[in-house]
Amino acid sequence: MPLLDVKHLQTRFYTGEGVVHAVNDVSFHVNDQETVGIVGESGSGKSMTMLSVMRLIPQPPGKITQGEVMFEGQDLLQLSLPAIRRLRGNRISMIFQDPMTSLNPVLTVEKQLTESIRVHMKLDKVAARDRAIELLEHVGIPAARDRIRNYPHQFSGGMRQRVMIAMGLACDPKLLIADEPTTALDVTIQAQIVELVKRLKEELNMAVIWITHDLSLLASLADRILVMYAGQIVESAPLDQLYANPRHPYTLGLLQSIPRLDEAQKAELKPVDGMPPDLMDYPQGCPFAARCPYVIDRCHTEDPTLEPVSDRPNHAVACWVKPNGAAVLETARAIAH
């Protein structure tokens, strides 16, 4: 049984201007101790999906209109508020993009770290403080005993994200959801944070869901990748499989836009042309049709569902065409040389 099993999740935002189709019939699972990457442009629904899983979407205007989120044998969407609060920050943790704004500027790190420890682990003030110092040391913050009294703005960006991670790990979660935790950081710090999470994942035996818009970041990190577009999962495959033979035109586009180190000079950066569809005016047919170089008539009328690629049970794609990605990438490489 997977650790997390999401089925047909659907989230809508009801605004004055119209209904936003933020998450559309999303199904996926995460196994125990597995690392799953979710990749997509901003606005593709990747954060909204995970916020829906945590039941953290602002309500109103947001509403989870459909679906099932099974975690450790219970449906999170059916739980009472106190029950879901007992899981948040305890069995499932979430860390966010910008640690500057995601940490409360007027509370000390100690206060922010110990509050979930005290609530979930029922420790007293002194014990919670010791645990917090231990956590800070664990995520690599020097002089943790002193720094714990500081406020967030007294830390550097990378250190702040380490504090955020320490908060996420406070109660030994089974699942850590990382929502673009490195986007606000510069490249060298990014690599450090990725390494840190990899190390902690091994030590703590937890599963990780890593949300990012940067496919290359997942190369050393993820076991499996989900590609999201316009609130849908359009492709799902093990890491190697996805890199070697993507079958969705959008994934293919993303892969072609990554400059590879070995061909950096002449790398022809080819981002996917066009804009994602307006989620308030959801298109009929495949949402990617308007930008797709492989589009056929059927794409404009029927929306493809996520289906396994014939011979690969772990590889699924939502596309009528399913271009041969391996061949396309090979040709592109040949031209570049």
Q: Provide the binding-site residues for other proteins, judged by CB under 8 A.
A: 51, 54, 56, 60, 81-82, 85-90, 93-94, 96, 98, 101-108, 111, 115-116, 119-120, 150-151, 153-154, 164, 167, 170
Residue (of 39, 40, 49) closest to 10 by Cα position: 49
Q: How far is the CB of 9 from other proteins (least distance, A)?
A: 18
Which residue, 93 or 251, has its beta carbon nearer to other proteins? Answer: 93
Which residue, 154 or 314, has its beta carbon nearer to other proteins? Answer: 154
The b-or-e profile of 99-113 (16+ CB within 10 A means b, else e) is beebbeeeebbbebb
Dihedral through CA 319, CA 209, CA 184, CA 193, nearest 10? -130
Q: How far is the CB of 153 from other proteins (least distance, A)?
A: 6
Q: How far is the CB of 58 from other proteins (least distance, A)?
A: 8
Give the N- to C-terminal CA distance of the chain in Å, as an integer.
46
Measured CA to CA, the distance from residue 191 to residue 70 in angstroms comes to 32
Supply the angle between the helices 325-336 and 249-256 in degrees, to the nearest 10: 20
Which residue, 123 or 329, has its beta carbon nearer to other proteins? Answer: 123
Which residue, 51 or 196, has its beta carbon nearer to other proteins? Answer: 51
Q: How far is the CB of 61 from other proteins (least distance, A)?
A: 9
Element (H, E) at 211: strand 207-212
Strands of 130-206 (E only): list them.
175-179
Q: How far is the CB of 102 from other proteins (least distance, A)?
A: 4
Residue type, 281: D
Measured CA to CA, the distance from residue 301 to residue 324 in angstroms comes to 23
Q: How far is the CB of 85 from other proteins (least distance, A)?
A: 4
